[in-house]
Structure 1
């Protein structure tokens, strides 16, 4: 399915993101502070189509709100731009693909939204990961209707999430790639063979996770850490090398 077509079909997910929530449903409490959400998202590089003023491309909805695509893969962003060029080359020429931290595009959406008009972010996954997530969820007799899939490792016996130690803190890694979490689980199983058959993979969507962060505050949410995809890792390493030069 072409990116532009898929973009139009995912509008409902952004308008009502909580419908896909299958991650955690604690009792309502004070939401996670915005500054902590921004910090949490800052380590995730994404691709956006920006004009000369630095504003993202958008599509206006009937209620006056605007929706803009946020790409996890450069290939998906390039495919979108190529399709746009076929439809309207003049519009396409006024935009460029730009790498941004997810926190930046999240802040743009928050700062430009008002009570009467909102900027929604439509998270566009890589086609491969979307297929993989759907296959994994289908095997469990469920359906994955979400956007960018995220993977977490869970113990079936007590429904707890597997953690790693990071700076003397136990954190729950969230993976952007199925292949990466598979390798991690294999390493864990070699170290702790008694856990091997007890580990399962949960799939959640990025929009559902962000909706959780915006509406809840609890120990589990505060322990989450993103594990970058291979493409993201290359971007992070490249930026680190440039800063050292």
Structure 2
């Protein structure tokens, strides 16, 4: 797998954003090109487990048609990926000692997934979320609803119920956060700056998988304004990588 590129763009973004306003409308209703989707996903690091030859570690999982499907796990958290490898070393040392954690961009996983869909017996990818964030997502949904997938958190509010935006290089963008805590900090700052709108702000959660599908299939100019903000852990990883 190719190494991540353009990580520094994400670091610059987090350090220089200014709060914007609420952008009206909903993310439904021009679909982005393949290249535009890739650009949206490029700056998000994810973590795979590979063997000595660099091939993803694959599990065989029964499918609905009683056939086994090859599935590779993609961890949102580097710590979770490393913990999985350590557990594998204890439980299956022959295999565990041959694998390692490899960072790749979310765009690369997306590209591999798209290529696999056109192949018989292609490889599927399963995103493995951070459990703390899944719990935060579950709390937002309330009882009786189960959140599935990787949580992304976004804020809405104002008279029109629009999306909270930030200013980046003179443009309004809609940030979707992998960490609810990061968004909460942004919301708190917004409430201090706009106390008259404070009571209208709500944090909502959507699955990453749904956002990727929306970028591929839906026709809406607002899709160009979506910006995925990596977790604090991933941002720290990016800082360390960019300094090497």
Same fold (TM over 0.5): yes
Distance in 2 (alpha carbons) for counterparts of 1:118 and 1:227: 30
Deviation at 1:175, TM superposition (A): 0.9
Deviation at 1:99, TM superposition (A): 1.3
Aligned residue runs from structure 1 range 208-227, under 5 A: 208-227=210-229
Secondary structure of the 1:162 match is strand
- When the two structures are aligned, how many residues end up with a matched partner? 215
Contact 2:174 2:225 in 1 (8 A): yes
Deviation at 1:118, TM superposition (A): 2.9
After the TM superposition, which of the residue ranges 62-71 and 51-60 deviates more from structure 2? 62-71
After the TM superposition, which of the residue ranges 98-107 and 196-205 deviates more from structure 2? 98-107
1:135-165 Cα deviation digits (max 9, x unpaired): 1221xx5624222111000016422101111
Deviation at 1:32, TM superposition (A): 2.1
Secondary structure of the 1:164 match is strand
After the TM superposition, which of the residue ranges 188-197 and 111-120 deviates more from structure 2? 111-120
Deviation at 1:64, TM superposition (A): 5.1
**Unmatched segments (≥5 aa) in structure 2:** 1-25
Distance in 2 (alpha carbons) for counterparts of 1:57 and 1:113: 18
1:79 aligns with 2:83: yes
Contact 2:166 2:174 in 1 (8 A): yes
Distance in 1 (alpha carbons) for counterparts of 2:46 and 2:241: 13
List, as ranges, runs of 4+ consecutive aligned residues in structure 1 with deviation greater than 6 Å. Answer: none
1:115-140 Cα deviation digits (max 9, x unpaired): 422322211111211111111221xx
1:128 aligns with 2:132: yes
Distance in 2 (alpha carbons) for counterparts of 1:42 and 1:125: 18
Q: CA RMSD in A?
A: 2.0
Deviation at 1:194, TM superposition (A): 0.9
Contact 1:175 1:226 in 2 (8 A): yes
Secondary structure of the 2:80 match is helix
> Residue 55 of structure 2 aligns with which residue?
55
Distance in 2 (alpha carbons) for counterparts of 1:219 and 1:64: 40
Deviation at 1:231, TM superposition (A): 0.8
Change (3 A) 1:169 1:150: same
Contact 2:173 2:226 in 1 (8 A): yes
After the TM superposition, which of the residue ranges 183-192 and 69-78 deviates more from structure 2? 69-78
> Residue 93 of structure 1 aligns with which residue?
97
Contact 1:152 1:201 in 2 (8 A): yes
Deviation at 1:59, TM superposition (A): 1.7
1:182-224 Cα deviation digits (max 9, x unpaired): 1100100111111100000110111111111222232121110
Distance in 2 (alpha carbons) for counterparts of 1:67 and 1:181: 31
Deviation at 1:113, TM superposition (A): 3.7
> Residue 202 of structure 1 aligns with which residue?
204
Deviation at 1:86, TM superposition (A): 4.2
